[in-house]
Amino acid sequence: MSQNALEVKNLTKKIKSKKIVDSVSFSVEKGEIFGLLGPNGAGKTTIIRMIVSLINRTDGEVVINGHHLDQSFAEAMSSLGAIVENPEFYKYMSGYKNLQHYARMAKMKISEERLQEVIKLVALESAIHQKVKTYSLGMRQRLGVAQALLHNPAILILDEPTNGLDPQGIKEFRQYLHDLTTQGISVLVSSHLLAEMQLMCHRFAIIEQGKLIHISTMDETVEEDNEEKREVGFEVDKPEQAISILRNSDIPYEFIQQQHSTLTLKLTKSSIPLINKWLVENEIGVFAITVRKSTLEDRFLEITSPQGGKQQL
């Protein structure tokens, strides 16, 4: 059996003469959360809709848990769970009754034991017998995940799953997804919330104008090399005098700003102790040194918009 829960090979979608998605290839490993990032209109949702067979592919292959979509459609789809749009339920029925309804429609038999298992997995035990109309948006999202997990898929695909959730709901939802990966389930998620994707995903791909332009682990993206410049704040007792003293040093740095008693400089990691030593030796008291770490947003804007990140997410 494949080590990947999902493999996408040269996925292409053409409408008339325009390529909406252009030869996109990536894989999702078992037990990982993989993110699809990109500006609005980049093609993320089109990619997802092709994977789950809501729209036809112009070209390319989709392999789900070792099953080719074109050769073993039923087996491939049985390994897949998805929420492509906001999950819809019968609001006058309880969450439990809704899950029972979907379980009866499934091609495979869903046991009561499995029902209880997914309810516990998404932490809805206390509310599962309440009517769905009483549920918050976050609870409905979790019920949607429970429905998608009923048939025990290898991979869960989510398109903008945290839309409309408040910060607490987003945090809880992220934790549920991480809990799923401990059960061996993989997750493919598309979102424009970069800070949230940084906390959520193990790996990610950036899609721009239908093309895959970058793919890496989250650690590789936000980790900085020792000689890569970063912004560092030095809180000092005599900021104006410190600026004058730094001008006389031969340590390479770029002055960014002074805000109250903090000087922000752009310099390499190896230069931080040298700046600190120079200030102290010149009788400048240094109270704190703060390194601003690169974020996924920084990297995203560097990759997609070399002119300074003017694209609209």
- Domain tally for the chain? 2
Reported confidence tier of residue 282, pLDDT bands at 50, 70, 90? very high
Query: In this predicted model, what pLDDT tens digit does every residue of 78-114 receive, in sequence order?
Result: 889 888 777 788 899 999 999 998 888 877 788 888 8
Pairing of strands 59-64, 67-68: antiparallel
The reported pTM is 0.74
Q: Which of 185, 200, 222 is at the close of a domain?
A: 222
Residue 116's domain spans which residues?
4-222
User: What pLDDT is recorded for position 311?
Assistant: 38
The tens digit of pLDDT for each residue in 17-73 reads: 888 999 999 999 999 999 998 888 888 989 999 999 989 999 999 999 999 999 999
Question: Among 11, 40, 108, which residue's Cα sits nearest to residue 304?
Answer: 40
Angle CA(65)–CA(70)–CA(76) in degrees, nearest 5? 30
Ramachandran class of 209: left when φ > 0, alpha when ψ lies in -120 to 50, beta otherwise: left
Q: Do 214 and 272 have their domain in common? A: no
Q: By CB neighbour count within 10 A (0-12 exposed, 13-18 middle, 19+ buried), where does 304 fall?
A: buried
Residue 63: what pLDDT? 94
Tokens of 238: 């005599």
Q: Is residue 119 included in any domain, yes or no?
A: yes
At 138-166, the pLDDT tens digits run 888 888 888 888 888 889 998 888 777 77
Same domain, 20 and 163: yes
> What is the structure's pLDDT at 222?
61
pLDDT recorded at residue 184: 85
Q: What is the mean pLDDT of residues 163-182?
A: 81
* CATH number of the domain to which 243 belongs: 3.30.70
pLDDT of residue 227: 58
With cut-offs at 50, 70 and 90, classify the pLDDT of residue 298.
confident
Q: For residue 254, count CB atoms less than 10 angstroms from its CB and return exposed for 0-12, middle for 13-18, buried for 19 or more.
A: exposed
| Domain termination residue (choose one: 168, 194, 222) | 222
Question: At 214, is the secondary structure helix, strand, or coil?
Answer: strand
Indicate whether 310 pLDDT > 70: no
pLDDT of residue 2: 59
pLDDT mean over 8-13 = 94
| Residue 306 near residue 214 (C-beta atoms within 8 A) | no
- Give domain status of residue 310, yes or no: no
Region 279-307: what's the mean pLDDT?
79
78 Cβ neighbours under 8 A, 6+ residues apart: 107, 108, 151, 153
Confirm whether 114 is domain-assigned: yes
> What is the pLDDT, as a whole number, of residue 313?
34
Do 36 and 11 contact (CB within 8 A), yes or no?
A: no
157 and 244 within one domain: no
- Asked whether 222 and 299 are in contact (CB, 8 A), the reply is yes
